[in-house]
Chain A
Amino acid sequence: MSKAIPEPVTKLIESFSRLPGVGPKTASRLTYYLLRAPEETSLALADALRDLKANTRYCAVCYNITVEDPCPICADAQRDQRTVAVVEEPLDVLAIERTGAFKGVYHVLHGAISPMNGIGPDDLRIRELTKRVDKGIIAEVIIATNPGLEGDATAMYIQRELTGKGARMTRLARGLPVGSDIEYADSVTLTRALMGRGDV
């Protein structure tokens, strides 16, 4: 980077550039915005970043990100502790919680099996899920991984690991999203929608 740019500015641009979805131009824009913004804006951001690492941890039960351990969902006696939704990322928990339709608990894998990127089963929280099911409390495991090649591979692997452990295993239904057009649907989605059709 040019020597005309002071080192602290360069360092922050480089730090922003490492974030997913942030390119060098966006990183520069964010940095110069913070330079011009009131001091408290930058300090609040710095405090939030420090807090993020200092005050968060993984829930020892579901491996979601939490401040308290166990997390509020796992600690909630009103929730059905016998039904577990297995998701790839903490953001998937938020998406399912937004529906208000699920009253069970979660298990966060922190990724999906992606051999080409060197992510295998041991890099995910699959072993922890197996131990959780081994305790015999869980009656149903809902595999809610993304419906793509990597999510499907993860689902198949989990299914294989948990077979014979006594818990019912289900997978989120796959088909047409609300607001879509059948005309534009791909053959895989349409086939699965037909296979999963229901009575009206």
Chain B
Amino acid sequence: MPRPDRSYRTTAIILKRRDFGEADRLLTILTPEHGKQDVIAKGARKLTSHKMGHVELLTRADMLIHTGRELGVAAQAEMTLPLDRLREDLVRGAYAGYCAELVDKFVNAGFEDTRTLYRLTEATLIRINDVDDPRLSVRYFEVQLLLWAGFGPELSECVVGGEPIEPQDQVFSPGEGGVVCPQHAPRVLNTLSLPMLTLKTLRLMQRSRYEQVEAANIPQGPLDDSERILSSFIAHILEKRPLSAEFLRRIRRESAPG
């Protein structure tokens, strides 16, 4: 892909933020057309910096970026989507942090076209901020992120024998990357049970728009099962569990009523 202009304007979601040097911040941003980038927000930690509140984690900002030899510099930034509830609710913040970590882990830095992923990430963060229960939107995000990254699990054919999957309970193999039929299941190690309703849920999330998935009113059981399957599959691909997953689990457990 050709190198972009020396400066470009973009909208960006701030995925990660670290202190850098005396008063700067190093931001990892996801942009629609310039991929995932590390950029420096110079002086952003100074109280009087015009950029300070505009480069906050898990917000959307319009930025002017000067490209550099190694790192770009965010010369201007203006927050355009604050997503307040992610800061006011520990559970929502934990879900959003988990999604941001997944994007960071699955996307290589560089100038690739990330328009689809950008739209998905932005829409997911807005849903986590807005809806009563963000679990469905996070599951949908996981499924669509896996598809975008080329790791979409095979859900129509047995990944061992290749035959079409029959309408019955199956098993899922994170190592083989999809469904294994009962006939071939004994040949595969480390499988997870995959009830028929959960398989249908995963297929629906793979093939449909979010609004259609939401309208399907998926019961809690298949949703919990989908979480179990996707969590194991993601851990297998990344070769470890995302760091924020443990915190999310703990916060959810401690926030559960009773």
Q: A residues touching B (Cβ–Cβ < 8 Å)?
A: 20-21, 113, 115-118, 120-121, 148-150, 152-153, 156-157, 160, 177-181, 184-189, 191
Contacts and interface: CB of A to CB of B under 8 A. Distances in A.
Given A160-B90, A187-B79, A115 B19 contact: no
B35 interface: no
B19 A149 contact: no
Contact residues of A: prevailing secondary structure: helix
B47 interface: yes
Q: How large is the interface on B (under 10, 10 to 19, 20 to 34, 35 or more residues)?
A: 35 or more
A120 B54 CA distance: 26
Contacts of B84: 188, 191
Nearest to A150: B57
B220 interface: no
8 contacts: A115-B101, A116-B16, A116-B97, A116-B243, A156-B93, A157-B90, A187-B82, A188-B84
A29 to B, nearest CB: 15
Contacts of B21: 21
B48 A179 contact: yes
A194 B21 CA distance: 32
Nearest to B105: A116
B60 to A, nearest CB: 11
Given A118-B243, A180-B48, A149 B54 contact: no
B79 A186 contact: yes
A178 B93 CA distance: 29
Among A118, A121, A186, A189: residue with most chain B CB under 10 A: A186
A185 B101 contact: no
